[in-house]
Amino acid sequence: MFWFNTQYTHMVQSKSFLDEQDLSMLEERLESISWEDGEAENMEIRSSQIKWIHAGDPIFQKVGQFILEQNVKFQKTIYGIEPLQFTTYHAEENGRYGAHYDNKSFMGGYERKLSFSIQLSDDSEYDGGDMVIYNPDPIPMSRNKGSMMVFDSGLLHEVKPVTKGIRKSLVGWVFGPRT
Ligand SMILES: O=C(O)CCC(=O)C(=O)O
Ligand SMILES: [Fe+2]
């Protein structure tokens, strides 16, 4: 008999998910999108500015394909990806996102199954600001520009305060049936 290796994975990291060309084209498209108010209910734990990238942007093709490939390891029932959240954390504003779970709020009948973050700043552009996932031990995400971390939305994670410069990220959530 042949047995599939269905060992469950909690996180996956790609050190160079977006290349230089992807990054510069994405930056150009972001220029034409306007800023939105951050979510006020989270202000005690969160300080950041956001823009939304909606389905139709070419980044969804690349992200969607990677998510489907990686889901072989996560084994989640997934339907799609919410709009992507471009986020900036400024040192002057004590930019941070305190420890939280992404699967605690529901959108209609759906539940967040997987979360991901793509680094859009180079390690040299900011101090502090580490994205850390607790599994339960802390695992810091790569600080390589263009790297991508995919993780179970049920894992606690945080963005430590940025103490110098600006950290930029592209954050997304993959949803499936509410269980
Ligand atoms: O900026 C990041 O890398 C992660 C942000 C985050 O956890 C979120 O917006 O839910
Ligand atoms: Fe999060």
pLDDT tens digits, residue range 80-107?
A: 999 999 999 999 999 999 999 999 877 7
The fraction of the chain above a pLDDT of 70, given in percent, is: 96
Ligand 2 centroid to residue 92 C-alpha, Å? 22
Confidence category of residue 37, pLDDT binned at 50, 70, 90? low
pLDDT at 8: 80
Confidence category of residue 44, pLDDT binned at 50, 70, 90? low
Confidence category of residue 70, pLDDT binned at 50, 70, 90? very high
Domains (range + CATH), the chain = 12-177 (2.60.120.620)
Q: Which two tokens stand for residue 32?
A: 């034409």
The fraction of the chain above a pLDDT of 90, given in percent, is: 82
Q: Can you list the pairs that 105-109 forms with residues at least 24 positions away whose Cβ atoms lie under 8 Å?
A: 106/178, 107/82, 107/175, 109/177, 109/178
| Residue-averaged pLDDT of the chain | 92
For the cut 50, the answer to whether the pLDDT of residue 172 exceeds it is: yes
Largest Cα–Cα separation, the chain: 60
Total residue length of the chain: 179
Atom of ligand 1 nearest to the CA of 149: 3
Residues, beta carbon < 5 Å, ion ligand 2: 102
Cα distance between residue 146 and residue 157, in whole Å: 20
* Ligand 1 neighbours by CB, cut-off 6 Å: 85, 87, 97, 102, 117, 131, 157, 159, 169, 171
What's the mean pLDDT in 2-29?
91
